[in-house]
């Protein structure tokens, strides 16, 4: 196995995913397989190749700095689980 | 001919000639959904009332001598497209409660052209899968054999079109998610050039690869729909500002002299012999129409799958970080603190394959591994794009198989991610290089459909559609209908 449980725990924390014990065991096995599979890329000769970030050599488009959006907070917040007075609620962050 | 068996083009003519109304047509298809959906599981949501209302409006428009090019024609949207006021789940428990407050550009444009939306099609969760088995509402079944997968991730769309439930459905393609399901269900699927169709309102999986397209029963229908969907959109920052040609107008042009590239590596190990034979037969038909074949090389073809499985998960891990249980989507109960809220909302809301890809992406982007995996993959991606560029110096179209085998059994590959990933070996390259590509039905193996894969140079959609249409004037594979759905 190229990855161990400790590494998976670290990755899961970075990814903000809570996994069950069963999921941890499965992840060690399957993620190791995936990492081993993609490791074959190391054999490719990429000397002098510039990494490709986009299918075209396109530059980011700029737009005029004008107001285009309207405030529709109430409608958007209909999808939120907990709101109050137009604010999104989360568990207490500071004591 | 019964309405459900007609193509979009035939239905458009029938509506225009007042042979039937859009309401009558919509009622026929809604009845077919009611009859077959329990068997096939093609829908996440059926929008019965909205469909009938839109059909009535289309009939009024026609009576008044108005109406767009899709006026009164029923279609299905993949559940990855945001639809205002309608649940948009993306095949995930995470978004099971999400009612989109806006329409995707694709949805907006098709509605403006008069299309009638029958509902939202089932799909692999967040479009991550090649068999439709990762959907939170369960797999779709293949109309040609109910024990088989219809492909993925646009499996609900492909199965619905194959089963004559709708003449057309939208799809999205990040590594083959339109073309592979089209091949496995005997339908036509086109993924346009990256940036040709707006991604606005299309839930993001891997933003540098994602592209919207359609699944239909003929190349002509695909041309008609693509003309409506395509075009610049200022709300998509990678949308390309280039005029959209009339894809229908050039369908009738001959393909005499068209240079068709045959990739040496395509017919190597891994391809089912019988599938290979059907594809070679199809290429012979293109030759009989005056096309010439040229052998081309894609030396880095083997590296396309590992490249994709670094780049796509990396982008997915970033895109899916927006699902945090706060503004929309699933939220865990009784979280003790903010970290607990994030981790449990995501742990509960995402399925296994999505978690796997988020973690793969997180790993390849993490400190110490970024250069070895992510940066390396981006370099190999450039090599693959260069291979295509070299090939298209000598040919107009590359022809080969869409998939290594016909439809596989549900459950057959679900436990082995690598086996599942390799299913996309022929399709992924077009996404990595941003090229347009399509799958066209070209025969059967053991009563299961086989797809011919056509790839074009950037913005050569019209060439692909013409090639496919000319092929379909000589063959009738695309008109074959699964026996239980006639």
**Structural domain boundaries, residue B339:** 302-378
Contacts of B385 in chain A (CB under 8 A): 52, 55
Contact: A50, B379; criterion CB under 8 Å: yes
Give the confidence band of A1 by pLDDT, cuts at 50, 70, 90.
Answer: low
- CATH number for the domain that contains residue B43: 3.90.1300.10
Please check whether residue B456 lies inside any domain of the structure: no
Q: What total number of domains does chain B contain?
A: 2
Last residue of a domain, which of B378, B399, B421? B378
**From the CB of residue B241, how many other CB atoms can be counted at a distance below 10 Å?**
11
Last residue of a domain, which of B225, B258, B291? B258
Please check whether residue B270 lies inside any domain of the structure: no
Q: Rounded to an integer, what distance in angstroms lies between the CA atom of residue B317 and that of residue B69?
A: 39
Does one domain contain both B320 and B245?
no
pTM here is 0.97
**Overall average pLDDT of the A30-49 stretch:** 96
**From the CB of residue B185, how many other CB atoms can be counted at a distance below 10 Å?**
33
Please check whether residue B372 lies inside any domain of the structure: yes
Please check whether residue B468 lies inside any domain of the structure: no
Does one domain contain both B251 and B323?
no
| pLDDT for the residue A68 | 87
Average pLDDT, rounded, for chain A:
92
Please check whether residue B471 lies inside any domain of the structure: no
Does one domain contain both B168 and B236?
yes
Please check whether residue B452 lies inside any domain of the structure: no
Please, what sign has the CA dihedral across residues B279, B280, B281, B286? positive
Give residues 8 to 67 of A whose Cβ lies within 8 Å of B.
8, 11-20, 23, 26-27, 30-31, 33-35, 37-42, 44, 46, 49-56, 58, 60-61, 63
| pLDDT for the residue B379 | 98
Residue B212 has which token pair?
């919207």
Give the confidence band of A84 by pLDDT, cuts at 50, 70, 90.
Answer: very high
Q: Rounded to an integer, what distance in angstroms lies between the CA atom of residue B348 and that of residue B262?
A: 46
**Which residue ranges in chain B fall short of pLDDT 70?**
none
Does one domain contain both B189 and B313?
no
Does one domain contain both B354 and B250?
no
Does one domain contain both B318 and B246?
no
Does one domain contain both B16 and B83?
yes
Task: Spell out the domains of chain A, with CATH numbers in brackets.
Answer: 5-41 (1.10.20.60)
Last residue of a domain, which of B327, B348, B378? B378
The distance of Cα B53 from the centroid of its chain, to the nearest Å, equals 27
Question: Would you name the residues of B annotated as active-site residues?
Answer: 78, 153, 177
Contacts of B324 in chain A (CB under 8 A): 16
């Amino acid at each position: 196995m190229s990855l161990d449980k400790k590494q998976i725990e670290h990755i899961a924390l970075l990814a903000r995913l809570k996994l069950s014990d069963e999921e941890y065991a499965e992840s060690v096995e399957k993620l190791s397989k995936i990492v081993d599979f993609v490791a074959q890329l190391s054999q490719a000769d990429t000397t002098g190749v510039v990494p490709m970030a986009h299918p075209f050599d396109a530059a980011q488009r700029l737009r005029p700095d004008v107001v285009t959006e309207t405030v529709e907070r109430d409608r958007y917040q209909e999808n939120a689980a907990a709101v109050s007075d137009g604010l999104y609620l989360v568990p207490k962050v500071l004591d | 001919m019964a309405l459900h068996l007609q193509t979009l083009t035939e239905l458009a003519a029938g509506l225009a000639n007042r042979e039937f109304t859009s309401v009558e047509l919509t009622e026929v298809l809604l009845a077919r959904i009611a009859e077959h959906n329990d068997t096939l599981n093609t829908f996440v949501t059926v929008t019965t009332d909205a469909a009938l209302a839109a059909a009535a409006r289309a009939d009024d428009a026609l009576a008044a001598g108005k109406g767009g090019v899709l006026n009164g024609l029923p279609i299905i949207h993949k559940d990855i497209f945001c639809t205002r006021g309608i649940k948009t789940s993306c095949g995930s428990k995470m978004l099971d409660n999400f009612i989109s407050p806006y329409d995707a550009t694709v949805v907006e444009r098709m509605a403006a052209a008069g299309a009638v939306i029958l509902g939202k099609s089932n799909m692999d969760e967040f479009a991550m899968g090649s068999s439709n088995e990762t959907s939170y509402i369960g797999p779709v079944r293949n109309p040609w054999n109910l024990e088989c997968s219809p492909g993925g991730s646009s499996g609900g769309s492909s199965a619905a079109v194959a089963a004559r439930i709708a003449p057309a459905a939208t799809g999205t393609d990040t590594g083959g998610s339109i073309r592979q399901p089209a091949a496995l269900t005997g339908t036509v699927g086109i993924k346009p050039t990256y940036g040709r169709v707006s991604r606005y309102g299309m839930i993001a999986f891997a933003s540098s690869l994602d592209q919207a397209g359609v699944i239909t029963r003929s190349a002509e229908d695909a041309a008609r729909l693509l003309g409506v969907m395509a075009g610049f959109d200022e709300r998509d920052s990678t949308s390309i500002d280039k005029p959209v040609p009339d894809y229908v107008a050039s369908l009738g042009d001959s393909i005499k002299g068209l240079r068709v590239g045959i990739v040496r590596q395509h017919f190597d190990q891994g391809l089912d012999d019988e599938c290979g034979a059907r594809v070679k037969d199809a290429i012979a038909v293109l030759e009989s129409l005056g096309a010439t074949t040229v052998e081309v090389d894609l030396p880095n073809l083997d590296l396309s799958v590992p490249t994709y499985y670094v780049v796509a998960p990396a982008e997915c891990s970033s895109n899916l970080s927006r699902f945090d249980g706060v503004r929309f989507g699933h939220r865990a109960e009784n979280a003790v603190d903010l970290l607990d809220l994030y981790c449990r909302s995501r742990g509960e809301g995402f399925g296994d394959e999505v978690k796997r890809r988020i973690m793969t992406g997180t790993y390849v982007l993490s400190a110490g591994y970024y250069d070895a995996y992510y940066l390396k993959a981006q370099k190999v991606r450039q090599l693959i794009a260069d291979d295509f560029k070299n090939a298209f110096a000598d040919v107009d179209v590359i022809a080969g198989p869409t998939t290594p085998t016909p439809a596989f059994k549900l459950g057959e590959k679900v436990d082995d991610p690598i086996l599942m990933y390799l299913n996309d070996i022929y399709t992924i390259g077009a996404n990595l290089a941003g090229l347009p590509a399509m799958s066209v039905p070209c025969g059967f193996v053991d009563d299961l459909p086989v797809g011919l894969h056509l790839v074009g140079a950037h913005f050569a959609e019209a060439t692909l559609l013409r090639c496919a249409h000319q092929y379909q004037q000589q063959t009738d594979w695309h008109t074959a209908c699964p026996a239980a759905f006639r």
